[in-house]
Homo-oligomer: A and B are copies of this chain.
Amino acid sequence: MVNVAVLGYGTVGSGVVEVLNTNKEIIKRNVGEELKVKYVLDLREFEGDPVQEILVHDYDVILKDKDVKIIAEAMGGEEPAYTFTKNALLAGKSVCTSNKELVAKHGAELLEVAKANNANYLFEASVGGGIPIIRPLNDCITADEITEISGILNGTTNYILTEMSEKGAAFDDVLKEAQDKGYAERNPEADVEGYDACRKIAILTSLVTGAQVDFEDIHTEGITKITDVDFKYAKAMKASIKLLGISRKIDGKFYSMVAPFLIKENNPLYHVSGVFNGILVHGNMVDDLMFYGRGAGKRPTASAVVSDVVDAAKNLGKHIPVEWNRSKSEIGKFEECKSRFFVRMKDKGLDDDQMMTIIEAFGDVLYVKAEGVVDELAFITNEIREDDFSEHLKKFEDVYSVIRVDF
């Protein structure tokens, strides 16, 4: 029997206990022996819940118990999760987590500590919820040069964009509805500003490059500026607007960003709708792969945490190598990224030399019309560097919208 402790009895933590209980026999068969939840750490009380019997408020009880071999950390946030995790690893206990903030920031260091102590730091649930992506990257796609990893990494924003697209509704209205349904937090900033997706693409890019990618270095835009009018144009172009985390290798360097993109049906992510996530991996031999599933939610996320617990239990006392060291990964500068841009601006009418200025700034552009939208000009530029685009855009007043185009 292998003893497990769960840190935090919120959504994910209680899900971990539920998965371990519900699928006890299957998990026992997969591990080769039984997994037992010996402690749950939480500051709160849970009167009437059977968890009360194994509830502790003091982390030291868990840390000092040599019978506890594996810890499922489901607290979230940086502290005290960081200190708890590090101390557990130093004591030779393996830690499995869904905590993307912690993994993005301290993943490389915690992997190093795990290795030095013949333990494991596993974080399948930190990206893509229940979707297996971390383990496939480490253990399955091992014969390819990965040249792209990109994805719909946040279910809340994908739900909002899907609803805006299908119902023609405004951002604020859909956000409110999503909050009422529990799909969006009361403070939705981390999701709608792209911060959550940014941490996830930072983790994926760190794994792909084998070195540390700091999330602060990744240009991040959210979806708050996307309007129903943008979706009218998207429809006219048979395109969809998706918040993507993208890392692409160009001339030997990865370029990363989080931003809304216009994509078309030839991109497998086009059909990833609602709260679902999809992660696209492109290898030089295997071509496109996509991993699809529920990117959030109690049970799917807990399923991923427990799959890590199973792995940790099968590898007690043995570190599973993961390529992610603390040296800084040399990712390309945002200014040098090249994209095509969809731009909407006020139509100044025939008296103005606006179209001449557009040609001077962006060369030949592709004008786009959307049904029922008047008094504005909308066009798609050729591929252009981010810094050049920003510089040229300054020449225009009354710009309504700028969205990158990935087709």
Which of A142, A292, A294, A300 has the most CB atoms of chain B within a 10 A radius of its CB? A142
Contact A27 B142, CB 8 Å, known A136-B132, A271-B271: yes
By the criterion CB–CB under 8 Å, are A302 and B323 in contact? no
Interface residues of A in 280-303 (CB under 8 A from B): 283-294, 297, 299-300, 302-303
CA distance A310 to B144 in the complex (A): 11
Partner-binding segment picked from A18-26, A154-162, A337-345: A18-26
Residue of B130, B210, B268 touching A287 (CB-CB under 8 A): B130
Q: State whether A143 touches B310 (Cβ < 8 A).
A: yes
> Top 6 A-B pairs ranked by shortest CB distance?
A143-B306, A132-B140, A130-B286, A290-B292, A286-B303, A285-B303
Contact A132 B289 (CB under 8 A): yes
Q: Does A102 contact B (CB under 8 A)?
A: no
Say yes or no for A53: interface residue by CB 8 A criterion.
no
Measured CA separation A29–B300 after assembly (Å): 32
A66 in the interface (beta carbon within 8 A): no
Q: Which chain A residues in 60-77 approach chain B with CB under 8 Å?
A: none
Given the interface pairs A132-B136, A285-B299, the reply to whether A143 lies near B292 with Cβ below 8 Å is no
| With A136-B136, A285-B303: A145-B23 Cβ-Cβ less than 8 Å | yes
Which one of B29, B143, B293 contacts A288 once the chains associate, using CB atoms below 8 Å? B293
Measured between beta carbons, the chain B residues less than 8 angstroms from A302 are 143, 285
A residues contacting B by CB (< 8 A) are 18-19, 22-23, 26-27, 29-30, 124, 130-132, 135-136, 139-145, 210, 268, 271, 283-294, 297, 299-300, 302-307, 309-311, 323
The CA of A244 and the CA of B152, in the complex, are separated in Å by 27
Question: B284 and A304: CB pair below 8 A?
Answer: no
- Bound-complex Cα distance A291 to B132 (A): 10
What are the residues of chain B within 8 A of A299 when measuring CB–CB?
285-287
CB distance from A183 to the nearest CB of B (A): 15
Assembly CA distance A297 to B287 (angstroms): 10
8 other contacts beyond A135-B136, A143-B309, with CB at 8 A cut-off? A19-B285, A29-B323, A30-B142, A124-B140, A136-B136, A141-B303, A285-B300, A287-B294
The distance in angstroms between the C-alpha atoms of A210 and B25, with both chains bound, is 14
Report B-chain residues with C-beta under 8 Å of the C-beta of A23: 143-145, 284-285
